[in-house]
Amino acid sequence: MRNGSRRSHLLPLADVRVLAIEQFGAGPWGTLQLADLGAEVIKIEDPSSRGDVGRYVPPFAEGEDSLFFETFNRNKKSVSLDLRHTGARAVFEDLVRVSDVVYSNLRGDQPAKLRLTYDDLKEVNPRIVCCSLSGFGMTGPRAREGGYDYMMQGLAGWMSLTGDPDGPPTKSGLSLVDLSGGYVSTIAVLAGLWRARREGIGCDCDVSLHETALHELMYVGTWAASRGYVVPRRRNSAHPSIVPFQNFPTADGWVVVACPKEKFWVLLCEAIGRPELCRERRFATFADRDRNRDQLEPILEGVFRQRTSAEWLEVLGAAGVPSSAVNGVLDAVAGARLVEYEHPTLGTVRQLASPLRLSGAEPPTVSAPARGEHTEWALAELCGYSPERIRELEEAGVFGDRAKGGASAETSAAT
């Protein structure tokens, strides 16, 4: 068993068990946060689709292992279970009895069809928290539709805000809706758990990628809904209203300069040798600089082009002006906190360490599980099944035929 158990009871969620019917990105990202905090996350993988599709995402995919899958599934366990098999329901409910959370990221209509909601499971475990993360939620006209990050960035207006003014609608370089949906679902799970332990009653958590993306319009959404104001796209990734707060080209690259307080504007003018700029009426306040950004930005660009990025960062840092390099990914990763482990197929795997740092215990770092690796362990140790009972279920096909792949079943209709 390559995925050992190193959970410390000092980890905040060491007494939480999660059954996760999940795949790809958003759902596994959400439960990864729980696993990194010590929860025992057991993936229920559909044998008819050869488990989580993330196992096969290139590049760096070998057989049923990939660096993509490792990224989202470290510190988890895997049980192979065909939830549509007539003999699987009893097995699943036995796992629910000894768990705290049932988490899924299927299409919005699937939790009801697969009987994964609180109403379906409250007689089995009245404290169970059932969380669904889907594209469009469990109710409404689009519940039956799949939804993916790129779609949501388009639907929620993100792409219309991103990129240079003359460029096409542009997505973020990262799957931020998936990641945000994962985080939001984790908050919902923790809130549901807190109430369940206080009141003895579980609940449903209905989280959608679409609503998450809309909510993250933040003040841009408030401006649009309250005043009909639509933020224009700005050159060089500039802030919609605060100037300067953007990228500037230097002699050899780019730097980010941020002046979200008036004092930083004064410090910037001194640092770049142009103190007279902060005394000009047209640049005196946030509103003035926003109104006259077309006059101010060319002046600043001309100044920043005169030195290298390193030179400017030294000058601005010494002056107390918020600024940073615009790194490539390799440069960014080189300076990051990493975790490292050996994988039997992929060799050395290095991942970015969790930012969830609570004093008292270090989060575990264990490789992602092989498909179905913990099936026998879970049924024997958690549910008390005998070897004979497990063999009967295996022969009946409840765990699927691990040697065969199949057409993707509806359980693969993830967000």
Kindly indicate the confidence band of residue 3, based on its pLDDT and cuts at 50, 70 and 90: low
Neighbour tally for 90: CB within 10 Å: 11
- 406-410: average pLDDT: 36
Q: Which of 215, 239, 343, 374 is catalytic?
A: 239
Alpha-carbon gap, residue 119 to 184, rounded angstroms: 22
Kindly indicate the confidence band of residue 408, based on its pLDDT and cuts at 50, 70 and 90: very low
pTM over 0.95: no
Do residues 112 and 31 touch, judged by C-beta distance below 8 A?
A: no
Do residues 53 and 23 touch, judged by C-beta distance below 8 A?
A: yes
Alpha-carbon gap, residue 134 to 40, rounded angstroms: 22
Alpha-carbon gap, residue 266 to 275, rounded angstroms: 7
Kindly indicate the confidence band of residue 10, based on its pLDDT and cuts at 50, 70 and 90: confident
Length of the chain counted residue by residue: 415
Q: What is the pLDDT of residue 7?
A: 57
Alpha-carbon gap, residue 314 to 311, rounded angstroms: 5
Neighbour tally for 361: CB within 10 Å: 15
Active site residue 239: yes
Whether residue 6 has pLDDT greater than 60: no
- 149-176: average pLDDT: 95
Structural domains of the chain, ranges and CATH numbers in brackets:
17-216+339-412 (3.40.50.10540), 254-325 (3.30.1540.10)
Whether residue 404 has pLDDT greater than 90: no
